[in-house]
Structure 1
Amino acid sequence: MAKQLAEGRTVTGCRLLSGGWSSQLRGLTLDDGEELVLRSFVKPFFRRHAPGLLSREASVVALLAGREGIPAPALVAVDATAQHCDHPSLLMTRLPGVVRVDEEDPEALGRRLDLLAAQLVRIHAVVPEELPRAYQAWTSPERVLAPAGGMWERAADVIRRDPPPYRGRFLHRDYHPGNVLFTGAGDGLRVSGVVDSVDTSWGPADLDVAHCSTALALLHGPAQGLAFRARYEAQGGHGLAVGPDHLYWRLLDALAYSPDAGKLAGPWRELGRTDPTPDVPAERLEAYVRLLLERYG
């Protein structure tokens, strides 16, 4: 840290930030009031893959810096191989706002989800000079560990095919409410930050829509997950697949959560959502998969 700060600057405060699952986040305050965030990979799996993950995130943060319509942090420094830190780390500016996973009245929640969809449309409009890596699937028919039953077998069969053809887009790839910051309230609510770009890649817009949809289904109920496509398209998103092709991308994401959907309840509790027990995400995932098969199957 000392080597990365401007001459004369010192760190006067440090505290752990809540909500991180893949990494440990620290909020740092400098003597002039500036705030930074130090993101460190401490879990063995993420530490092992940190050189690629953090180098990619550093390049994406640099790409998005100052880009109109996408409030991303600015890169300060990166130590992807832990040459200077206890753990592989990335240092960036801190954005204003907070993560919002609370349940509000339907109108207020709908406004927030519309903003979430509009921000994703702007991300997909990015055309980088150098394309990021191709997307990676997070499950496969052989890796799906779903409960026994005809519905789950049918769902796994949907992704037992070659990926549908698609038009490539710039993907955040881990876009969900936990990686978006908001400021304001009511009509003044705004997206103030989009974070966690370690998985940025090139692929179908359907995949980002699918990932956010799954998160919304587990957090706010299956109906909200199912409806996110309509919100995305109402905000100007286009080019999504239809019918079985769109179902493929939705289930390719949703099935990656089985049987561990309950692990999300921990980070949610850290962010103030104490109502979902570990059983709730699993129950919602099952209901969501059933709705997807009914809608697009």
Structure 2
Amino acid sequence: MRHEAVAWAESVLCEPVVEVTELPGGLTSTMLALTQRSGASSVLRLMTKDPWRAHGADLTRRERAAQIQLLATPVPAPVSLGLDAEGVATGVSAHLMSRLPGAPATHIDAATVAAMAEMLAGIHDVRPTEPFRDYQSWAWEAKWTVPTWSRQPDVWSRAFDLLAAGPPTYEPTFLHRDFSHRNLLWLDSSISGVVDWVETSTGPAWLDAAHAATNLAVSCGTESATSFLTAYAALTATRPDRYWLVMDAVGFLPPPGKKAFFDSVDELDRLDAWLHEVMTTDLRP
């Protein structure tokens, strides 16, 4: 499969690929960094991992469409170079795109959080020519089971009750939908790239902010997450909505019988602490 995929990429690039390196961290896909004979670099997404593989055609088409919409904006997104959504040439859904400079952050500090908030506000200012699909909740009702590892099960029960009451009204906004420090590249102290646009959607801006906050909370703790929300609220002159924050936190639970995306004791404890923060603290700036 990899050989066929690289051969397809060469046909799109119109030059040979002299080096192939698998990039770390791909949850949904195999991500290959391609170095071309000219010295230029590109990235090839191959939708090889279940359950995303079954939806690969839609995901890669959506990513390409998002990147096209972002071409004329200040958002530093990759440029789409080629698409084999049905995997005719590559065997799986494939998307070839430019490779952006920079690397993931190795340390999260106040400046990192502030830059993230500013970038997300800029993404939400994008007005695509056609709306993307409506957002999908990842807090499915099948997940509404109090986790056995929680130190405060009553908080989870209250969170499930909040979700059962239904979402508040919101103004539809262009969403990255998987915005987090994990999907950002940095050069020095500046964001040089926003990657992984396969989940691009239309929905509530605070759901995007909530996802970034949950990721920060699980990785670093509640202080970074709260600081991010405060910065985003100040930039957008809006207030956090508990519903979207809860929806995102609950979305990190695995479906019954499935393994969580993370399972270290520290990460689970931080998710537990973040939900408690969201449910019991006034998060208004």
* Structure 1 equivalent of residue 146 of structure 2: 146
Which deviates more from structure 2 when the two are superposed, residues 211-220 or residues 37-46? 37-46
* 1:97 aligned residue (89, 96, 102): 102
* Structure 1 equivalent of residue 52 of structure 2: 46
Q: Which runs of 5+ in 2 are unaligned?
A: 1-8
* 2:87 aligned residue (75, 82, 87): 82
Output one character per residue of 1:234-254: Cα deviation in whole Å (capped at 9) or x when no partner: 3x223345xxxx111001000
Mapping of 1:104-183 within 5 angstroms? 109-147=109-147, 149-183=153-187
Count of paired positions = 268
Task: Tell me if structure 2 keeps the 8 A contact 1:65–1:74.
Answer: yes
For 1:31 and 1:225, locate their aligned partners in 2 and report how far apart those are by CA, in whole Å.
Answer: 43
Task: Tell me if structure 2 keeps the 8 A contact 1:175–1:208.
Answer: yes
**2:237 paired with 1:238:** yes
* Structure 1 equivalent of residue 194 of structure 2: 194
TM-score (norm. length: structure 1): 0.86
* Structure 1 equivalent of residue 242 of structure 2: 247
For 1:264 and 1:289, locate their aligned partners in 2 and report how far apart those are by CA, in whole Å.
Answer: 16
* Structure 1 equivalent of residue 29 of structure 2: 23
* Structure 1 equivalent of residue 204 of structure 2: 204
Shift of residue 262, structure 1, vs aligned partner = 5.8
Output one character per residue of 1:272-292: Cα deviation in whole Å (capped at 9) or x when no partner: xxxxxx111110010111111
SS across alignment from 1:32: coil
> RMSD across aligned C-alpha pairs, in angstroms?
1.8
**2:13 paired with 1:5:** yes
> Percent identity, aligned pairs only?
32
For 1:146 and 1:227, locate their aligned partners in 2 and report how far apart those are by CA, in whole Å.
Answer: 27
Shift of residue 296, structure 1, vs aligned partner = 4.2
For 2:23 and 2:95, locate their aligned partners in 1 and report how far apart those are by CA, in whole Å.
Answer: 15
* 2:66 aligned residue (51, 54, 60): 60
SS across alignment from 1:117: helix
SS across alignment from 1:44: coil
For 1:261 and 1:192, locate their aligned partners in 2 and report how far apart those are by CA, in whole Å.
Answer: 33
What amino acid sits opposite 1:84 in the alignment? Answer: A
Q: Which runs of 5+ in 1 are unaligned?
A: 266-277
TM-score (norm. length: structure 2): 0.89
